[in-house]
Structure 1
Amino acid sequence: MHGALAELAREAARSADTHLLRVDLPAFPGIRFYFKDEAAHPTGSLKHRLARSLYLYALCNGRLGEGQGAIDASSGSTAISEAWFARLLGLRFTAVMPDCTAPGKVRLIRALGADCVLLPKGVDASAVARERAHREGLCYLDQFGLAERATDWRGNNNIAESILAQMASEPDPVPAWIVCGAGTGGTSATLGRYLRYRRLDTQVCVAEPTGGAFATGWRSRDPQDLASRTTLIEGIGRPRVEPGFLFDVVDRVEEVDDIASIAAAWRLESLVGRRYGGSSGTNFVACLRLARELRDAGRSGSIVSLLCDRGDRYDETLFNRDWLAGHGIALAAGRTALDALENA
């Protein structure tokens, strides 16, 4: 165990913090947009932080022993990060995922030496991963059950601490809003807790696909609520409210249709010069809505959001016009609606 913990500490020391990119949009004078580029992590997504925390949590709680393999349920990005860390630590890793996961993600997980178990729609990946862990003597990393407790929300370079440190010298160092998606709920929990811990007035907005369980559950405060529809946006829009999603540290949930999220993902490429996945587009739409409210109320300030994962993972899906057409996504209509929102 000591050797594995030392390896994780060395990896953390080698990893630089991710960039905070500033974007100014002419339609919103006095309102500054900042995007935390979590795709810059070695494993290409926000989930790099979570995967390291999950392995640390498993090791320090005695759940992961020498020679033991690991397994988790994921829609892709967490599994990529977990597979990368497993290779670093010399562990076997199995990812249990929906069979609709972007092919680029599946190829990358396998290239990292991990196994992929692809499940048809309607099969509970978490239940399958848990059962296999029990049957095969694997450590179930359990991102959905443990994300909010595995991360040290008081600091230790969590994403909230990192954002505020980078904002310290900006014109509006205390953001009006921080916008994130919710997959496990761990990021919104970390942000909300840390902002309260620091006694700041920044509010947390969760950007969620329309009809997602986190949106319906947050409104009703019922953790048993289920999603009313499915989404094409991987990583968010869970079918049920996960244990790590803490209702009371989230100030607002903005629901975004898939077509708007995808159009916004395409728009981000022209704004920052590289592609990001659909959840980054969902975040961007929520940022624009919040910025309109600030502007219309005569307020200035800053809005911070996350660029969650690399867009090249979606070259065969969200950035493929034939794939979009096959799923009924009219990109031109989405762009027109986004232009109206951005320039209104």
Structure 2
Amino acid sequence: MRRWISEAITKIEADFQRSADTHLFKLPIPGLRDIDIYLKDESTHPTGSLKHRLARSLFLYALCNGKLTQHTPVIEASSGSTAVSEAYFAQILGLPFFAVMPRSTAQSKIDKITFYGGKCHFVDSAPQMHAAAVALASETGGYFFDQFTFAERATDWRGNNNIADSIFAQMQHEPHPIPHTVVMSAGTGGTSATLGRYIRYKRFETQLLVVDPENSVFYESFVKNDPDLTQNWSSRIEGIGRPKVEKSFQRDVIDDMMKVPDAASVATMLWLDKLIGRKPGASTGTNLWGALSVAKSMMEKGQTGSIVSLMCDSGDRYLDTYYNPDWVQKTFGDIGDYSDALNLWLTESA
């Protein structure tokens, strides 16, 4: 048993060593005055999203806590990206993998999970995922990874090339090396917890702004300081927003939160595609809308500095949904007002 665990950890660490760090790039936005906005492109991981980091951490956490044997089925509740990355690592270790997800999950993500040998178990909505995953783990004798509980504790937030350590290292030679604000959306809350803890550990003055979509309880929970809020509907921005306050969501390391309209997230995603010639996912639109809002406030106050956020995954996964005008109109209505507001940033008089 110990020998298999040692070999499994070696395989995961070898995958890490084969992967270069992700790029941090500055956005060419003419309307910014003495403020720079950067996106860290997490779509270039082997499994195409920020969740590659989380999946690696969760596997190491489970292995080092003695939760996996060479025959243990791995169970996860995921709307897609985490499951894709976990299926990848499960395949490396030769473990069966089952993803519990809403039926509305993008087909491209479902295809990726099955490509890596995983199986999908569907439920009608996000609030049903946790109970279904617990039941499936019991039926199969598997181990439920439970990303929404363990994301914040599985990551070494002090360093070891986590997302925060990487961002601040890459910013060292920029005009404003210590960001004024880091903007991050929340799915599990694990990444925002890592960022907030690291900022405090390093004693930076950087502010952490967490942006939240509609149909999510994180924002209201933060404002009301109520960790028990729940609702019975799902976020329309895939990968972020939750119907309940997850255990990985660490309110006390967040400086501020912002509720972002879903139509604004989609409009910003499409605007960014035209700006840089690369398709991001909708959660990146949420992040960037928040970053631009911070930039506007800074400019009004005569402040200078840098803002950093994340490009969480590639829009190639959403060609049938967020990049389909008919689907967007049906799901979100007219996004034209947000698009017009964004286009003002393309002029130097913004």
Match of 2:124 in 1: 120
Q: 2:176, 2:89 → 1: CA distance?
A: 36
Alignment of 1:238-277 (within 5 A): 238-277=242-281
User: Unaligned 5+ residue runs, structure 2?
Assistant: none
Matched, 1:219 2:223: yes
Match of 2:59 in 1: 55
Q: 1:31, 1:292 → 2: CA distance?
A: 10
Matched, 1:67 2:97: no
Match of 1:109 in 2: 113
1:6 to partner: Cα distance: 0.4
Structure-2 change in CA distance of 1:211 and 1:116 (3 Å): closer
1:24 to partner: Cα distance: 3.5
1:342 to partner: Cα distance: 6.9
Structure-2 change in CA distance of 1:233 and 1:31 (3 Å): same
Q: 1:241, 1:200 → 2: CA distance?
A: 27
Q: 1:204, 1:138 → 2: CA distance?
A: 37
Match of 1:37 in 2: 41
Using the size of structure 1 for normalisation, the TM-score is 0.97
Per-residue CA deviations over 1:261-293 (Å, capped at 9, x if unaligned) read 001001111222211110000001000100011
Alignment of 1:122-271 (within 5 A): 123-227=127-231, 230-271=234-275
Question: In structure 1, which of residues 22, 25, 28 is the aligned counterpart of residue 29 of structure 2?
Answer: 25
Residue identity opposite 2:106 in structure 1: A
1:3 to partner: Cα distance: 0.7
Per-residue CA deviations over 1:204-256 (Å, capped at 9, x if unaligned) read 01111135211010111111112586432011111111100111100111111
Q: Is contact 1:289–1:341 with CA below 8 Å preserved after alignment?
A: no
Q: Is contact 2:185–2:212 with CA below 8 Å preserved after alignment?
A: yes
Q: 2:164, 2:136 → 1: CA distance?
A: 34
Q: Which moves more between the two structures, 322-331 or 159-168?
A: 322-331
Structure-2 change in CA distance of 1:10 and 1:318 (3 Å): same
Q: Is contact 1:226–1:241 with CA below 8 Å preserved after alignment?
A: yes
Question: In structure 2, which of residues 290, 296, 299 is the aligned counterpart of residue 292 of structure 1?
Answer: 296
Per-residue CA deviations over 1:282-329 (Å, capped at 9, x if unaligned) read 001000100011111111000000000110100010001121122243
Runs of 4+ in 1 over 6 A off after TM superposition: none
1:135 to partner: Cα distance: 2.3
DSSP-derived class of the 1:28 partner = coil
Q: Is contact 1:217–1:226 with CA below 8 Å preserved after alignment?
A: no
Q: Is contact 1:260–1:337 with CA below 8 Å preserved after alignment?
A: no
Residue identity opposite 1:219 in structure 2: V
DSSP-derived class of the 1:116 partner = strand
Q: Root-mean-square deviation (CA), in Å?
A: 1.5
Match of 1:8 in 2: 12
Per-residue CA deviations over 1:9-59 (Å, capped at 9, x if unaligned) read 100100100000111422221000110000010000000000000000000
Using the size of structure 2 for normalisation, the TM-score is 0.95
Match of 2:333 in 1: 329
Residue identity opposite 1:129 in structure 2: A
Question: In structure 2, which of residues 294, 303, 306 is the aligned counterpart of residue 302 of structure 1?
Answer: 306
Q: 1:168, 1:126 → 2: CA distance?
A: 41
Residue identity opposite 1:286 in structure 2: G
Match of 1:318 in 2: 322
Q: Is contact 2:186–2:192 with CA below 8 Å preserved after alignment?
A: yes
Residue identity opposite 2:16 in structure 1: A
Q: Is contact 2:184–2:310 with CA below 8 Å preserved after alignment?
A: yes
Q: Is contact 1:210–1:229 with CA below 8 Å preserved after alignment?
A: no
Q: Is contact 1:212–1:228 with CA below 8 Å preserved after alignment?
A: no
Residue identity opposite 2:339 in structure 1: R
Q: 1:105, 1:206 → 2: CA distance?
A: 25
1:71 to partner: Cα distance: 0.7
Q: 2:321, 2:64 → 1: CA distance?
A: 39
Residue identity opposite 1:198 in structure 2: K
1:122 to partner: Cα distance: 6.1
Q: Is contact 2:73–2:142 with CA below 8 Å preserved after alignment?
A: yes
Q: 2:103, 2:199 → 1: CA distance?
A: 37
Q: 2:232, 2:106 → 1: CA distance?
A: 23
Q: 1:286, 1:279 → 2: CA distance?
A: 11
State percent identity of aligned pairs: 48
Structure-2 change in CA distance of 1:134 and 1:318 (3 Å): same
1:118 to partner: Cα distance: 1.2
